A and B are shown apart, each in its own frame.
Chain A
């Protein structure tokens, strides 16, 4: 190990000593209850859809997702969602609300750069990678699944 690297490592230790970490227990607790509540709200939407529209389970789950996405759109538009997320962290990022917010917030934010290259393009800035990796993983595993079905009918 050369001298420069050693000095950098020593400095890294100094930085860690002075960098306070977040309040752990509080962060986890907030993420837990907000995340849990969002899921329960989703469950309510799904149950309503099952009773009112006689949806199947997967249709109802999709409907619940759309309802939560709509709610996120309203909260993001009102400028409330980021405050909620600052409180809840993982509690709002992990549910579908986080995905929805990641689409809606850049769409809104980059409006001033125009509707095509601003809103239209920047809409996918965070959601794009999510869809890319989700769809690609599903397709690759789907190929395995298909080949398995062909070889062992």
Chain B
């Protein structure tokens, strides 16, 4: 691991993506990316009694799927890093209870997928582990009843509001060579521009995203043109538009055709009433593992910059009128050409 600047690291001893797996709920299976996901479920509770347990089951399924695909025996996994949106990240902890891999619970709100991969890469290179499992999940029903109102409560969503994705993604980081390699990473700073509206999380997260992108570009001496795709987690329509403008101000304009937002990709905003787009840990987790890593594997993309964004508010801080701390972590994935 080589430090390039204050918050940007180059992964010196290679870390590869050995396997990736994604599981999504019903609405996501009706969206444009339906065919990309490894598993789609119809029942929102996933055969469990509560939405919370259902969410945990999503993560367990994604984790087991990824472990199986990697072909690495479970005893070789040095750590399981995961988080979700539930109070005290109980969905992840319940999943860890079943999996039995040494577990570090993370809270990074919707930035969790990138956070887990960043930390996973550090563990890989520090401890020379054979494999580390990274994951994240979210569930619309569980998030809604915790952060906003009961599901049956009749209230209108504002146009800037986003729809929490029911989904989970798991990535196995391994030391054995594979088609996808992690090359650079940026740990985000918390940026808060005073946005207090919890129904406009895209606006709260966009400045953090701009900050992380700039530090990564500067430290690695790259520009947006050097990437086949720059992917933000769940900025939604509002955050997407703001980020484009903020990057223009920073003289690093993103190329519109190569800039994607998972929150905008996962749903069809014309047909599905999701307002500004998808959000939640499961949004970037499922789209990264279901779509982008697969695209690199197939050789359709060579180098992508994945940046998951998180709005780190709590229901309590929102009620107290506190503004929303935003964060964004970035990971660069590159295709490793086979030298056979």
Contacts and interface: CB of A to CB of B under 8 A. Distances in A.
A–B proximity contact (CB within 8 A): yes
A7 B157 CA distance: 29
A115 B273 CA distance: 33
Interface string A4-35: 00011001101100111110000100000000
Interface string B217-255: 000000000000000000001100110011000000000
Contacts of B195: 11-12, 15
B193 A86 contact: no
Contacts of A85: 153-156
Interface string B138-173: 000000010001111111111110000000000000
Interface of A is mostly: helix
A6 to B, nearest CB: 11
A92 B155 CA distance: 9
A106 interface: yes
Contacts of B156: 22, 27, 85-86, 89
Interface string B179-197: 0000000000000011100
Identify which of A8, A19, A76, A93 gathers the most chain B CB atoms within 10 Å of its CB: A19
Contacts of B194: 8, 11-12
Interface stretch (A37-45, A60-68, A97-105, A138-146): A97-105
A8 B147 CA distance: 25
B59 to A, nearest CB: 19
B114 to A, nearest CB: 23
A36 interface: no
Nearest to B207: A11
A59 to B, nearest CB: 28
Interface size range of chain A in the complex: 20 to 34
A55 interface: no
A79 interface: yes
A27 B154 CA distance: 15
A19 B160 contact: yes
B199 to A, nearest CB: 10
Contacts of A48: none
A54 interface: no
A109 B207 contact: no
B50 interface: yes
A30 to B, nearest CB: 10
A96 to B, nearest CB: 13
B200 interface: yes
Interface of B: 49-50, 145, 149-160, 193-195, 200, 203, 207, 237-238, 241-242, 245-246, 273
17 contacts: A7-B193, A11-B194, A12-B193, A14-B246, A15-B200, A18-B241, A79-B152, A81-B154, A82-B153, A85-B153, A85-B155, A93-B154, A102-B153, A104-B152, A105-B153, A106-B150, A109-B151
Sort A-B residue pairs by CB-CB distance and give the 4 closest, nearest first: A85-B154, A109-B150, A8-B194, A105-B152
